[in-house]
Amino acid sequence: MERLFSRPFAWGTTPAKAAWSKHGHVLLFLWNADGRRFMDLYAYHPGEQRLARLTNLESIEDPINRPAAEKDERQKQYLEPAEGIGDFDISRDGSRAAFSYHGDLYLVNTSGASGQDSPFRLTRTKTAETSPAFSPDGNKLAFSREGQLFVQDLHTGELWQVTEIEGEGSSLGGWRWSPDGKRFLYTVRAGSARKLLLPNYAGRLVTANSFPRTLPGDPATETKMYVIPAEGGTPVAMEPGPWGEKVFAFGTPQWSPDSRWLLRTAVHPNLKQAAILVNDAVSGKARVVAEDKDAAWVEPAFAAWSPDSSRILFSSERDGWSHLYIVSKDGGEARQLTHGAWQVDNDRTFGHEPQWAGDYIYFASTEAGTAERQFYRLRPDGLRADLGKEKLSTREGLNIGIVSEDGRDIAMMMADVKNPFDLYVSGHRVTTSPRAEFANYAWPGSRLVSFPSRGDGRPVAARLFLPEGYRPEDRSQKPRPAVFFIHGSGYATSVLKQWGSYQELRYVFNCSLVNEGYVVLDMDYRGSSGYGRDWRAGVYLHMGGPDLEDVLGGVDYLRGLGNIDMRRIGIWGSSYGGFMTAMAMFLSPDTFRAGASFSSVNDWENYNAFYTEQRLGRPQEYPEAYRRSSPIHFSSMLKNPFMMVHGIVDNNVMFQDTVQLSEKLIHEGKDFSEIYYPEESHIFVRDETLTDAFRRATEFFDRNLGGE
């Protein structure tokens, strides 16, 4: 257990944030070649098939920018592994990169010549500078500092402030250079009416930082958009559209390639309508060019410009599946490009948004099956553009492509059932992330299976992990114990032809349980992504209802195998998976002999407004939906051993959820156990925490399910 969950991990570190230069055919990405957490910057030059490491920053100490935890005599003993570089930009010609590290800005040449191209530190300040972006001509660098937008001329050294955002709590959101380099667009988010405290008990003194947080029932945050000259001046406000400024907005608006128009998306405060809008960058006038409605909730759409600025490519579920459409920038009837009972993938967990590069549109989809992502291209013209679709990927599994601006080179993230993600460019392998010991570990085999939901009989996709010697079709075997794994997020997918599934650490823990003799069943229950609109919205007004019936269908499936000991069934999951674990233990108390709930939402009135209101509406309007979807209201039904695990400084699912459920279980006289990690947030990152949490969970299942 200690070796599995101590860095460097055997499976390595997945390359991340791959991005091509506009010209010059240079690919930048973040990676740690040794399997640690710290991300350094790499460049790949496909013409030479040459990989260059551009930074080596992990050992550098900077007293002026030491985080608060390093200054506390107690907290500094338990520091989390450093993350490294987070954001970067590449110049249009591909010759230079800019990045932010510890709140300071750096420049580096992408050639990576040994001893010649060390990063140049542009700033050294106590104030954080972040989000660097080159001007289109590469001569200037824009960045944010203290909630304002700044520009520095890289030739003269001149520095100026572009924006002057005022108003208590108002802050700079996203921003972009115009393609001609003359202007910026930027968004301003109004201050949140609510701030929550996040206590930390690990230091010499108890501290409590505040952070903005919406709760179900809160109004949407006001967002405004402006255009301003690159040298500063008077900003021009952009019209907000038909629903005003209090809408849900995602991503940063996009300039048209000709610098005349702005493209953005908005979701109505009722979450049942979404619009794609185009603003005139000079007058600010707005028009809606496409709109979607959904009786449950709309998923925010992907949208992008055509290379000639005349059309907009976007995704919509209007036929029941997420497909690609084209519409004129002036609006009108949209034309559907892809068709079928499958969906175009723009799931950021694994994927990359569709791209319009040159004469083709590139995208990944589930057409080959929900457990795969294959990569395609099509020409956007013609009545049925998809009839000429070309499949560009060749390997079974997950294939996520990122195309250079002219379509000449394709960077592909690829994984299959035996191999984690690695990066390839035009068929050439660029990274090898797994370490030598990866091949020596006995990773268990698995099968993709399907079974009917106990509720409505609809098929549920699942992955059955097989202990050594176990054959599901052999009913004569000695019955084995089993553990259900419930993936997190709700709208995600875990049943994939891929090593590591949607979250590698949880996958590895499942593998360790299998090697202890447990059969493990992982499933894409109702609400998971990749299965169309109806499956996605199947939990509307009742989370822990139809999705729990899907889980119980898995119980019926295992019973039907005839070689599972149904008296020794366990269940575990984290986040939404922790919530589902609690619901299963409380609402089907005789089914599961033991449940381990990590980082669980136990009362949906405690969670953030957008996610929760999508699925349950506003609590003022649907109080019964919140009651029947929250485990805390059913805890009195608990019969069997139940373990809660939570990080005290969790700023996603607040620690209060576990505290409140714990207090209620105490008052009800229930037998339960709890494990709290003082320095961990929602995703545990410290080696010692991972080892301890998964060791305790294994011992919990061994104690209550009896092991093999």
Q: What is the pLDDT of residues 83-127, one digit of tens each?
A: 999 999 999 999 999 999 999 999 999 998 876 778 999 999 999
Tally of structural domains, the chain? 1
Alpha helix (H) residue ranges in 516-653: 533-536, 546-561, 576-587, 609-616, 623-629
Q: What is the pTM of this model?
A: 0.96
Q: Where in the sequence is the domain holding 510, given as residue range(s)?
A: 442-705
430 lies in some domain:
no
686 lies in some domain:
yes
Q: Is 605 exposed, middle or buried (0-12, 13-18, 19+ CB in 10 A)?
A: middle
* Residue whose entry in the numeric block shows the structure tokens 């490491």: 53
Q: Provide the 10 A C-beta neighbour count for residue 41.
A: 27
Q: Provide the 10 A C-beta neighbour count for residue 121.
A: 12
Give the pLDDT score at 347: 63
Give the pLDDT score at 707: 57
Q: How would you classify residue 167: left for phi > 0, otherwise alpha for psi between -120 and 50, otherwise beta?
A: left
Give the pLDDT score at 388: 83
Q: State the Cα torsion 613-616-620-624 to the nearest 10°.
A: -170
Can you tell me the distance from the alpha carbon of 337 to that of 381, in angstroms, rounded to the nearest whole number? 9
Q: Provide the 10 A C-beta neighbour count for residue 156.
A: 9
399 lies in some domain:
no
Can you tell me the distance from the alpha carbon of 664 to that of 669, in angstroms, rounded to the nearest whole number? 9
Q: Which residues pair with 613 in a beta bridge?
A: none
Can you tell me the distance from the alpha carbon of 222 to that of 519, in angstroms, rounded to the nearest whole number? 49
The enclosing domain of 673 has a CATH number of 3.40.50.1820
172 lies in some domain:
no
Give me the average pLDDT of each 10-residue run along the chain (708 residues): 94 96 94 97 96 93 80 85 94 97 96 83 94 97 97 97 90 96 95 86 91 92 95 96 91 96 96 97 97 95 95 97 97 96 77 89 96 95 77 96 93 96 96 96 97 98 97 96 96 95 95 97 97 97 98 98 98 98 98 98 97 97 98 98 98 98 98 96 96 98 85
49 lies in some domain:
no
Give the pLDDT score at 437: 95
Can you tell me the distance from the alpha carbon of 609 to that of 618, in angstroms, rounded to the nearest whole number? 8
Give the pLDDT score at 348: 53
In one-letter notation, the amino acid at residue 391 is K
94 lies in some domain:
no
Q: Which residues pair with 402 in a beta bridge?
A: 411
209 lies in some domain:
no
Can you tell me the distance from the alpha carbon of 139 to that of 354, in angstroms, rounded to the nearest whole number? 30
685 lies in some domain:
yes
